[in-house]
A and B are shown apart, each in its own frame.
Chain A
Amino acid sequence: AQTVTQSQPEMSVQEAETVTLSCTYDTSESDYYLFWYKQPPSRQMILVIRQEAYKQQNATENRFSVNFQKAAKSFSLKISDSQLGDAAMYFCAYRSGDTLAGSYQLTFGKGTKLSVIP
C-alpha cells in the first residue's frame, strides 16, 4: 500500500516571502500522480498543483511550483510571494497510475498547517 508523509505539522511564512512544504511518499509503482490540495477554513478542498510521475519537468502554477524527485520519492511544494490568502492546511496526495486496477482514489498525507504573517 502507498503511504504519504508530511513531516511538518505546522509552518509559518512572512507575507511576500517564500516557503517550501515537504512531502515524501512510498510506492512500488512507476506510474502515478501526485497532488497538492489546499484546505482553507471554509473546508473546501482546492487543487493547487498536480504532477505526473512520467514527466521529468516540475509542474508550475503561477506562484506555486513543485520539486519532484522521483528517485527520492519526494514531492515538495514551493509557494513564492506568499499572500495572506495562502494561509490554510495543505495536503499532499498520491494516486496510482495503474489503469487496470482502476485505483482512482487519493491517499493523503496528514497535512501541514501554513500560517502567513503580515
Chain B
Amino acid sequence: DTEVTQTPKHLVMGMTNKKSLKCEQHMGHRAMYWYKQKAKKPPELMFVYSYEKLSINESVPSRFSPECPNSSLLNLHLHALQPEDSALYLCASSPGERFQRTEGRGYTFGSGTRLTVV
C-alpha cells in the first residue's frame, strides 16, 4: 500500500459550520503534512507533524486546527472559515528524518479535498 487517502474528496461548507478533513497512510511514514493549494499556484505548507507531534505551524489562522491521533492518521478541523479559504487541501506523508539517508525525504501526496466555503 503506497497511498495517502484523503476524505472527503469534495466539501462545501458555510462560514458557521464545523467540519473535518481526514488523511490516512499505511506506509509506516512518521511525518505527515497539510498543504493548501489555490488554483494555478503551488502548494503552500500549513502544518508538519513529526512522530505525531506538531513540529511546524506556518502561521496558519486558528480557524484551522490540526490533529494527529496516531502515526497513520491526520485530521484538519475547520471552523468559521472564510470564502478565501476555498482551495484544494493536500495531505502528504514522508518516511521521516531517520530514513533520510536511505530513502530521501520523498513525500507522497493524497488526491486532496476540494473545499468550497460559501
Real binding pair: no
Q: Which residues of A contact B (CB under 8 A)?
A: none
